[in-house]
């Protein structure tokens, strides 16, 4: 599932990626929930 698109308003760097004004970003909730650094037991999550 994707999130709503977001437009970069100020040039910045995020996790090593350079983001420029006007770029459109869209997050993926599924991939976020697979990050072991945030959810150590992500395979056991039940929704």
Q: Are 20 and 47 in contact (CB under 8 A)?
A: no
pTM: 0.61
In the chain, the number of structural domains is: 1
The answer to whether residue 29 is domain-embedded is yes
Domain span including residue 19 = 6-39
Residue 12 belongs to some domain of the structure: yes
Supply the pLDDT for residue 47. 60
DSSP secondary structure string for all residues of 1-47: -B---EE--S-EEETTEEE-TT-EE--BHHHHHT-TTT-TTGGG---
Whether residue 47 is contained in a domain is answered as: no
Q: Is residue 45 part of a domain?
A: no
Q: Is residue 46 part of a domain?
A: no
* Band (2; pLDDT cuts 50, 70, 90): confident
Does residue 28 lie in a domain region? yes
Asked whether residue 19 is domain-assigned, the answer is yes
């Amino acid at each position: 599932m994707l999130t709503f698109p977001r437009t970069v308003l100020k040039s910045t760097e995020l996790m090593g990626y350079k983001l420029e004004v006007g770029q459109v970003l869209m997050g993926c909730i599924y991939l976020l929930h697979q990050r072991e650094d945030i959810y150590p037991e992500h395979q056991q999550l039940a929704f």
